[in-house]
Chain A
């Protein structure tokens, strides 16, 4: 899923400085699962912003709403009755796709991102998320024991480990496992070190960001009307 985290409150307060009515919109997708922008996080942030205003006797209304998803136009459409000057600011608590979709559909609205979209990852434990995928568009993890050297190696090496690997940790930080250490260890355990001696063909990076923004079209799903 997409892992995101909330921007500092100070930055969010800057978005609504001099505004009187704000609509804070959460998303029930990835950011709900990673506890960044679901119903609960919307409640907490809205409450904090209202408290901040109330303690200083500032006139500010912060309304709350959480959409099923903010990356599908059909759900963005639900905002139609709430736009058109009803709010001075729309704060999207989704990954950056949410505010982009809202701003595109409602060009007259002031739309602000409340979250920083961080990476594609999974939960290592409750409250801990780690990057596991870089969306290169050409998955090769089966060649590396199910571990992704592109996302999890600081250099995205396909022929590691590099000289910076020490004691199973990456030279970038002792908090980061050297994924190539894990790949080699896994192959040793499986008695399959030979696999790493094979020379793989060059990876096709055209599916990654190198080709500019990507798009997928599934003709069988596209409605032509």
Chain B
């Protein structure tokens, strides 16, 4: 039975849609582990597998937001541990760049985030998902008419 907490309490309006771009070497495996460990995390988080966060492109996040997502996050390996050396570092730069762009059109930059974790951090994956879900839910829907 799931315990009702402030973080997983239903939002007053519609539930936020969240897209998580997860690196297959870390965050995606961590999500698997979270599942194996029967850890609860908000079902509104939809995971998109990417081969490395270096594959993350700002247009992917923009399209997600345009098509109805209320928040997007990118989850990659711990800094220094990228399978492709610096994909996660480059992804963070792109995320920071897009945060500024979103701010320039009046969108809260908090709707986009970059996280780093390792494949063995299943509980951390669930924690990130809940934390980001809570943040986006507090921000409310991105579009008046999605």
Contact = CB atoms under 8 A, between A and B. Distances in A.
Contact of A55 (B59, B62, B107): B107
A9 interface: yes
A9 B58 CA distance: 16
9 contacts: A10-B104, A43-B62, A48-B105, A52-B106, A52-B107, A54-B145, A55-B143, A56-B106, A56-B144
A44 B62 contact: yes
Interface in A43-67: 43-44, 47-52, 54-57
A9 B105 contact: yes
B91 interface: no
B58 A51 contact: no
Given A40-B59, A44-B58, A54 B66 contact: yes
A43 B58 CA distance: 10
**Chain B interface, >50% SS class:** helix
B144 A49 contact: no
Interface residues of A, number: 17
Contacts of B62: 43-44, 47-48, 51
A85 interface: no
B63 interface: yes
A191 interface: no
A50 B63 CA distance: 10
Contacts of A49: 105
B104 A48 contact: yes
Contacts of A13: 105
Indicate the size class of the contact surface on chain B: 10 to 19
B101 interface: yes
Given A8-B104, A9-B105, A44-B101, A51 B66 contact: yes
Interface of B: 58-59, 62-63, 65-66, 101-102, 104-107, 142-145
The 8 lowest CB-CB distance pairs between A and B, nearest first, are A52-B105, A47-B62, A9-B104, A57-B144, A54-B143, A43-B59, A48-B105, A55-B143
Contacts of A57: 143-145
Contacts of B143: 54-55, 57
A12 to B, nearest CB: 10
A83 B101 CA distance: 30
Given A43-B59, A56-B144, 4 more contacts: A13-B105, A48-B62, A51-B62, A51-B66
A9 B124 CA distance: 36
B107 A47 contact: no
A40 B59 CA distance: 8
B31 to A, nearest CB: 27
A50 B66 contact: yes
Contacts of A43: 59, 62
A74 to B, nearest CB: 29
Interface in A95-117: none
A44 B63 CA distance: 9
A112 to B, nearest CB: 17
A51 B104 contact: no
